[in-house]
Amino acid sequence: MKGFVLTSILLLTSVLISCSTTTSDNVDTDGIYAVLTIQEDGANTRADATFYVGGMTGTVLQLTAGDSVTCNGNAMTENQDLFGKYYYYGNCGTLTAGATYTFTFTRNGDDGPESYSSSVVMPAAITISSPNDGATFTRGQTIPVTWNAGSDTVEVSISGSGTSASGSGSTTYSRSHGSLDDDGAYTILATDTDPDDTITGVIANAAISVTRSRSGTMASGLDGQISARRADAVSNLTLNP
User: CA–CA separation, 95 vs 132, rounded Å?
Assistant: 25
Instruction: Please report the domains of the chain, with CATH numbers, ordered by start residue.
Output: 7-121 (2.60.40), 128-213+229-240 (2.60.40)
pLDDT given at position 19? 63
Per DSSP, 88 falls in state E
pLDDT given at position 167? 83
Q: Is 146 helix (H, G, I), strand (E, B) or coil?
A: strand
Residue 13 pLDDT grade (very low, low, confident, very high; cuts 50, 70, 90): very low
Overall residue count recorded for the chain in this entry: 241
CA distances from 159 to 14, 124, 149, 230, 235 (A): 20, 25, 23, 18, 10
Digit-coded pLDDT (tens) for 113-169: 899 999 999 999 999 999 999 999 999 999 999 999 999 999 999 999 999 998 889
Digit-coded pLDDT (tens) for 14-47: 444 446 899 999 999 999 999 999 999 999 999 9
Digit-coded pLDDT (tens) for 203-235: 999 999 999 999 999 999 999 999 999 999 999
